[in-house]
Chains A and B, each alone.
Chain A
């Protein structure tokens, strides 16, 4: 039942998870709606979504704390859908750590081993090793309430690693920490993932976290997975308006496609790389950092005519608020790299972008 003592995990080939058409309803509300996902061994995947999107319910169905109404959960091609949580051999790291307050750090970490009746010598050696791995070897005899939030988080990780599960499930593990510490621990978890090579399924509502850590991100909304892609693709090529709006800032420009040309609200031709052939209305998405706003005189390329209505200095960048002649408001983010002359509020300008930076969405 237990895997070899090695925590290096380079030889681990297990830890694939497959979800087939998972469905979960609470009364009349559908929490998870037809979710299918295939996760390969060693992959770091994030379930990203706002609260109520079904991401935590999905994770809890993998962990065995919720039973799906229909659908299947497979671990290494074995069905575990109805297996009780304590026999799944999956490591779970909970939102508020869920460290046992009446046990020391060492006792907490030893807990999964005691439940598996690992002999004392082996148990102690393993607790020692895992605690060292998270740099808490010196604090083994402390109680959880004597530790900082970051340390408690590490104990939670150590406890989940102690029995060497092939998969770690992390439920918003950094949610309770402040921003600086969150960034720090983010890197630690990433490093740990490289070290132990375990499959990690990470639930978060923080898009930055998801983009920074994951091999792939699954964006969820209203119980469904809207897109599963590498972070770059999620950001650059959002599959729909929800993903575009949820991940990062975005300018949405209503466009119409007529005879193979993308036309803006004023009927002028707008830059884009790919669009459907048929005539239809659509939305053009362009990120603020991709939106160039230049004084009208210099602007000769295709774009939208308008004026700058507001400028905000935010440190590393300046945010320009632009309003087109038709009343459309756009935001542009310009990095403050050099003392380059910027247009002023009130200036007539042209907003444009590289064709490759625009995405056309048709729903």
Chain B
């Protein structure tokens, strides 16, 4: 330890500290421009100068390490002069256009000039007269305002690993920008915009639309993906002006992605429903809640009286815990139905069911910090940068800075591939075989039977797996001190996904990663609250707390909790719901942000089946195919207009707060259901989202809000109290609730976000007795002149909803079919041209975009843009997985022609 005195305050710090960090510890703030806590210091702006008392030397505090006995002055006359001169020099070039600069009012350069009284320069001013670079649709580069601190270039290199911008030219002519005078082409995370200490980088979307001091700031949780980023939504007159992030805040540490930063405008577009609609004589007519609710209640009551499981419900997995909880409560308690399912059914369920069976929880074994400590990381079937951007950032850091061995198994190159020590570009269709063989290799300790050896041989022969790389992977996995397996959307949506997941779990177990701290498996949920919605029991399998909905004991538990008897039927998921509707056993459907028609090919019978319903109620924000059929369209509030909790990929339970006024007559989903139950004469009695969360916590106390640093970023959690769990499942007995001894203040107890390793290990060893599924490759190997068409998540959209976002639409206006660059050249297909794909089921035209990332066998399309036309390539007969009931429409064999169809 080194003893350092900063302005007379003595602190003891690690000798690796810089003066700046030591000063921070002493509570002394030193101004900076180019310093950034997450990046290597650059020492280029010279504003953090400090004086060493003994030697009288002026040094830069951000790059100078401390020494024992060092005495530092941060505000001596000498330093004041140095900083003032420095500012005068900066202001030689920097224009004083603060009145028209977006940064004015929150500009460190402005503040510093003010603080040091650099009112006039002793030097002859020499303003630059560079044209602004307006080429990008997102960011504007103004070289005149730039002080060349390089923070933007560094954050793009060091944190984002994107390298989109750099220094151009030399000396006085140096500017910052994208290479070759081209339009900026990057991930548009906007981190450069965030760190710029001047108005040199601004964005098109909000330019000239605000003055920072007039904005109201709301700290909230982003609900676009499962990263659970903390961000600041800034509003004026209750509408959103911009979204910013704050360094170090939240699990995202201050970085947010393109969707979070720029994708906020869809909630304030005129396309949104602002009033409830009712269908009268085949037409949807605007109505009011007062007029509509009694009518809806009557019709629901009539159907409810026919028996149990008569009304089906589909809920999006992007809603809050509160909404999901009330949803299942409404169905089970009021409608007596267990015919409910979530959007997770389309993919994440393939991971969730095996996970719950094997570990008893959906909480992850590892979080992002564990990724930084891991020695070996295997990414299989996931593109974390697009699926959960912050997981991607941590993986980038793990591989680049911490030198973790990163293995990627994927048919296409992903952003992380160039950081991987090896990328196994397995041919599409071979994933299940790969997982199966790898699992057997690990589980059997390398003693493969002849049958398995044949399989392994096949892997090498037909599926583009290099034996050497494979062996390296096996060795690294076996010998890894700490290892983590990351899997995600591409894996969940593959054929045999749930069985592959079982294999992966068994492999994780055989490697000893279930018991070992810092090791494990990290499945990346597909949406912001896949985990939370399932934990709330918004699916037929589970009651809240992941208790088996069809088990008598768990049903009793919730009957006690709610003080009512539960008489729902055996229920079913998406598959059974569609079947039930077709057979006339289900008469009504209520959807919350879900549109089943959009998930299935045009030729499928889904639309026809839904046509048999007596009643369709759609709670949504925008028009869609289901809305066109619905009898009642109820305007739902967006996540910016209500308060709710979300469970992140790391298991943090975080609060998203209301930041803008309700759009028109729209209401939060839970409130619509509550009002409906009231109109039905069977009120559930929920009054506020705080009240609902309180009820959830009363029964499931381990869902208490949590964040990485143990502090509650999202305001106070109000008067929510924690109840200590009284039985091993974490379920608290409601009769104990009011006993004062069971209540402890939230601040005393930081709920763990990760799974409890002991209980998981115990449960796992029991489950591990289950037979290991033996999987073969799926035969989608393309023949001569054929391709595999597959769909992936785009970085620039969160779901179908963000397609309505004017900002994001500017960034990615349409879905383009990505094709291998060489293949395109060979076939003389150019960027922007239209081609036609045909499968045995149908055909569809696409605009192509050659890409070096895609394998020569594949054609990749962003799933958000997949409408029924695109889905026409898939069989109209929907295949549901026998294990998890998930429908598989992920990839299909196609042939390509350059003719176009209309």
Partners in one complex: no
A: which residues have CB within 8 A of B?
none
